[in-house]
Amino acid sequence: MPVSVLLILGMGAAVGFISGLFGIGGGFLMTPLLIFLGIPPAVAVATQSAQIVASSTTSVLGALRRNALDHKLGAILVAGGFVGSALGVWFFAAARRAGQLDLVIVISYVTLFTIVGSLMLKESIREFWHRRKGGTVRLRRRAGEHAPYLGWPLRMRFYRSKLYVSVIPILALSLFIGFAGALLGIGGGFIVVPALLYIFRVPTTVVVGTSQFQIVCTTLVALILHAVTNQAVDLVLAILLIVGGVFGAQFGARMGRHLRAELFRFLLAILLLAVGLRFGLELVLQPEEPFSISVQEVRS
Amino acid sequence: MKALAILLFLLAGLAPARAETLITSLSNHRVLINSNYTGTQIAVFGAIERDAQTVARATGYDVVVTVRGPRQFLTVREKERLGPVWINQEQQKFPSVPAYISVMTSRPIAEITSDQLRQRQRIGLTALVNSNDFTTGRDGADRPFRDALYRLKVQEGLYLEDERGVTFLTPDIFRAGIPLPATAPPGNYDVDVTLFADTVILARTTTDFELVKTGFEEQIGVVARDWSLFYGLATAAIAIFFGWLANVIFRRD
């Protein structure tokens, strides 16, 4: 792939910086950037999963040391995530065979990012408004406040997260994240974290560690499955991304401690919407070259 | 019947008298390239041998060198507008086409021989791309896809035609340089040399060379293809190792 090594390293560092700043994986930024750079979407998605594995490993190890991880909740999330990942990789291969993989990836990005971005934007503006009026917004756990689906059958007690909920919605969430992660080359932290926080009311102390634990496990499976099924993992590119990302993330994390929470969420929402919009344009604008060649197999 | 037999006899009798013999040689039968390679060239040398009976030719000789790379199964797709979005719709399969084609000639190919002969004998890039064994004809619907394949391959530098690619060193000895771009895939390359005089084919020889990729990146490619599970596990292990390393280096407590 004739792409400059320094460019990839620099991009890895920049995205790592942003991901450290916001405390998220950064896959949702890196994969689109790689695609915009001209790297085939299949390779971008599959290779980016290696970078997600590396960055989540770092945060899981940190969480383990601080004991900020709910093992039981993590295990349930991972179980759902594995199934989702396998489905995602299978779907990825099927779409690739049909010649519609690029379309699937672009449409998924547009949909996901527009929805999540707008929700976040709404949330951060509302929070900002509340704060200006002097009130403080805090998540309080009151009895009878939970959504009805949390009380579905198969309830389970999670002591660490102080939860007693049905595992069905948790499995559904992790299944979706695993699927989206494998298909789009994202970890999904930016969805899992808010979902656990707002829907399941998992305490903030364990939420990041637990979601990172799920991400590292499911992305690991996605990475190996991508290598076996789609043979789209580029080791050299992966190492460049990892090295760039690791350093960027550390500096980002240092900066991030000085950033206010609602400002941070606002910026993240803008970022998501921008990436979604960029993908949307790709879909709507007339392509310069409507034809493309794909190699089905090499005969020698 | 009788007339035909006589005609055949005459042709058979004429052929040896007209014959020139073509002798060609490649500078290399095995091209080794490594990953930081920027493309290379391989040279074809040829000599035209005439015996005592060979008729004198009013016009000079012309030579066409055609190189075909390893075959690939390609699909060309066309994006079309569907509602507000552009998506891949029509497609055309090219079951077995060379990944690389170069046609080197001593003169513009249209001046060397007629359209019909080029099409029949598959001389020249256009004739090759338009030939029946490239893809199935669909009453003209295959036309834009053939054109697109041609255009995209030329852009990539994998299909090329050079009307000054063959140079005559003496009236009977010529050489041609075959450019091989960095993107040329490994495999077997057939070299076909055709000798013309006065729009007629006099002789044809074929030879071949092998393009072998060596070096780190190529070996990784082989492992990724043939040992995909091992490759996946190794990539995962490397990723985890880097993650752990970052955790150790940047430990804050």
A249 inside domain: yes
* Total domain count, chain A: 1
Query: Please, which pLDDT band fits residue B14 given cuts at 50, 70 and 90?
Result: very low
A232 inside domain: yes
For residue B167, what pLDDT is reported? 92
Instruction: Answer whether A295 sits within 8 Å of B91, measured CB to CB.
Output: no
Asked whether the CA dihedral A182, A183, A188, A192 is positive or negative, the reply is negative
Task: Please enumerate in sequence order all residues whose Cβ is within 8 A of that of A24, keeping only pairs 6 or more positions apart, or say none.
Answer: A187, A189, A190, A193, A268
Q: How many CB atoms sit inside 10 A of residue A300's CB?
A: 12
Instruction: Answer whether B86 sits within 8 Å of A298, measured CB to CB.
Output: no
Task: Please enumerate in sequence order all residues whose Cβ is within 8 A of that of A213, keeping only pairs 6 or more positions apart, or say none.
Answer: A60, A63, A69, A74, A77, A78
- Is residue B10's pLDDT more than 80? no
Instruction: Answer whether B78 sits within 8 Å of A297, measured CB to CB.
Output: no
- Is residue B6's pLDDT more than 80? no
For residue B16, what pLDDT is reported? 46
State the nearest Cα–Cα gap between A144 and chain B, in angstroms: 40
- Name chain A contacts of B236, Cβ cutoff 8 Å: 50, 53, 220, 223-224
A157 inside domain: yes
A17 inside domain: yes
| Calpha distance A117→A276 (Å, rounded) | 8
State the nearest Cα–Cα gap between B218 and chain A, in angstroms: 11
For residue A282, what pLDDT is reported? 81
pLDDT averaged per 10 residues in sequence order, chain A, 300 residues: 74 82 75 84 86 86 82 87 90 86 86 87 82 61 58 71 77 89 82 81 80 87 87 86 83 73 78 87 83 75
Instruction: Answer whether B76 sits within 8 Å of A292, measured CB to CB.
Output: yes
HEC-encoded secondary structure of B70-102: CEEEEEEEEEEEECCEEEEEEEEEEEEEECCEE
* Cβ–Cβ pairs < 8 A, chains A and B: 162
| A240 touching B (Cβ < 8 Å) | no
A297 inside domain: no
**Quick one: DSSP state of residue B119?**
H
Query: Please, which pLDDT band fits residue B15 given cuts at 50, 70 and 90?
Result: very low
Radius of gyration of chain A (CA): 19
For residue A120, what pLDDT is reported? 82
Closest of A19, A21, A54 to residue A33, by C-alpha: A19
- Which strand (E) or helix (H) includes residue A107? helix A101-132
Task: For B54-86, write each residue's pLDDT tens digit.
Answer: 777 777 889 999 999 999 998 999 988 888 888
| A292 touching B (Cβ < 8 Å) | yes
> Which residue range forms the structural domain that includes residue A277?
5-135+149-284
State the nearest Cα–Cα gap between A247 and chain B, in angstroms: 8
Burial B184-200 (b: 16+ CB within 10 A, else e): bbbbebebbbbbbbeee
Instruction: Answer whether B224 sits within 8 Å of A227, measured CB to CB.
Output: yes
- Is residue B204's pLDDT more than 70? yes
Closest of B73, B47, B229, B220 to residue A221, by C-alpha: B229
Task: For B143-183, write each residue's pLDDT tens digit.
Answer: 889 999 999 999 988 999 998 899 999 988 999 999 988 78
Task: For A149-203, write each residue's pLDDT tens digit.
Answer: 666 676 777 777 777 777 788 888 889 988 988 888 887 877 888 788 877 778 8
Where residue B144 falls (left for φ over 0; alpha for ψ -120 to 50; beta otherwise) is alpha
| ipTM for the whole complex | 0.80
Taking the complete model, does pTM exceed 0.90, yes or no? no
For residue B188, what pLDDT is reported? 93
Radius of gyration of chain B (CA): 25
- Is residue B200's pLDDT more than 80? yes
* Contact by Cβ (8 Å): A217, A82: yes
DSSP A25-77: --HHHHHHHHHHTT--HHHHHHHHHHHHHHHHHHHHHHHHHTT---HHHHHHH
Instruction: Answer whether B72 sits within 8 Å of A227, measured CB to CB.
Output: no
Residue B227: closest C-alpha in chain A: A228
| A283 touching B (Cβ < 8 Å) | yes
Instruction: Please state, rounded to an integer, the average pLDDT across all residues of chain B.
Output: 84
- Which strand (E) or helix (H) includes residue B116? helix B115-121
Greater pLDDT, B184 or B205: B205
Domains and CATH numbers, chain B: 2-217 (2.60.40.1930)
Residue A63: closest C-alpha in chain B: B247
B132: phi then psi, degrees, rounded to nearest 5: -70, -30
State the nearest Cα–Cα gap between B83 and chain A, in angstroms: 9
Residue B97: closest C-alpha in chain A: A299
- Name chain A contacts of B246, Cβ cutoff 8 Å: 54-55, 58, 246, 249-250
Instruction: Answer whether A243 sits within 8 Å of B149, measured CB to CB.
Output: no
| A100 touching B (Cβ < 8 Å) | yes
A296 inside domain: no
For residue B133, what pLDDT is reported? 80
| Calpha distance A263→B173 (Å, rounded) | 77
Instruction: Answer whether A285 sits within 8 Å of B96, measured CB to CB.
Output: no
